Amino acid sequence: MSIIPIYNCFHPFLRKKTTLINNIDDEIVKLVDDMFETMYKADGIGLAANQVGKPISLIIIDVSKADDKVKTPPIALINPIIESFSEEEIEISEGCLSIPKFYEKVLRPEEIQVKYFDLSMKEHVLTGNEMLSRVIQHEVDHLNGILFFERLTPMRRALAKSKLKAIQKGKIDANYPFINPDGKPANI
């Protein structure tokens, strides 16, 4: 296994929609292993493949550290599609490994149902609440080129402007390998 650098949210890779995976080969199995190692090293609870420069529809999650009520084991979700959202919405503070040390509250549906395939291309439907639901919504947004600060209220987004500008300029504080918006490795 190896650690892969994570791309700054302002890198163009993060704005492109990813493509569906048709078959699982050794490269994808290795990518999933590497993504888990990278996510744990960075103390994250979710990671999308395009955050490590692979524009394919794959996310990994492990929310056990953030919510001890969650019994779901670490999972890789291939081609995830959120099929239903609850009407009830809740605010939860979110962070993102592509936006180091930036946390803001975001309002999103409380419960979701997500359809995805596992590494054997077997289909599953998972219902998620609270943190599990939140991480899946955040990561599926990545696959569609959407960043969580775009979901902030206009007021919160305005207040966050200078922090985001600094991140865009590559002024970041991360303890993991990081790629700047211009594609060069960050000095960390």
Residues that bind Zn ion (CB under 5 A): 96
Between 58 and 96, CB nearer to Zn ion:
96
Q: How far is the CB of 14 from Zn ion (least distance, A)?
A: 9
Among residues 27, 88, 94, 139, the one annotated as catalytic is 139
Task: Provide the β-strand partners of residue 133.
Answer: none
Q: How far is the CB of 142 from Zn ion (least distance, A)?
A: 6
Phi (first) and psi of residue 39, to 5 degrees = -65, -45
Q: How far is the CB of 11 from Zn ion (least distance, A)?
A: 13
58-61: strand order across its sheet? 46-48, 58-61, 75-85, 112-117, 123-128
Q: How far is the CB of 89 from Zn ion (least distance, A)?
A: 19
Task: Provide the β-strand partners of residue 94.
Answer: 104
The residue whose Cβ lies closest to Zn ion is 96
Task: Provide the β-strand partners of residue 75.
Answer: 61
Between 24 and 147, CB nearer to Zn ion:
147
Between 96 and 140, CB nearer to Zn ion:
96
Q: Known catalytic residue: 83?
A: no
Between 32 and 140, CB nearer to Zn ion:
140
Which of the residues are catalytic? 139
